[in-house]
Amino acid sequence: MDRKGKIELEGMVFHAYHGCFEHEKSEGNTFTVDFKGKTDISKAAASDRLEDTADYGILYDIVKSEMDNRSDLLENVAGRIAAAIEKAMPEFTRFSVRVSKRNPPVAGQCEWSRVTVRGGSKKK
């Protein structure tokens, strides 16, 4: 059985210190991270066994670890998360990571700024 599927972890919330301005670095802000990844889920679909699927806990831990490392730019945070997932979880043939920052420092009302990065093992 060959079953391609999508695994998603959405709404991972972190208080982190990403940003270029001093107040962002000292006070921090609310960030959310969303992950969507394509993988072969046929083994897990047939077996109903946790060890036959991607480990959501490992995925979350990767995201948390990268969110704990301060960056000036969301592009850098999202890029580091994607690189770490590619290295640790090659079973994802394609995926996207979206990092969102609450109330970014702009001259007007803006609820979120967001950066999305795509990655994957490039398997066919």
Q: Tell me how far apart the 2 most distant CA atoms of the chain are, in Å.
A: 54
Burial of 11 (0-12, 13-18, 19+ CB in 10 A): exposed
Q: From the CA atom positions of the chain, what is the Rg in Å?
A: 16
Tokens 């046929």, residue? Answer: 42
Is 101 catalytic? The answer is yes
Question: What whole-number distance in Å separates Cα of residue 88 and Cα of residue 22?
Answer: 33
**8 Å CB contact between 92 and 82:** no
Which of 36, 43, 101, 124 is catalytic? The answer is 101
Catalytic machinery residues: 101
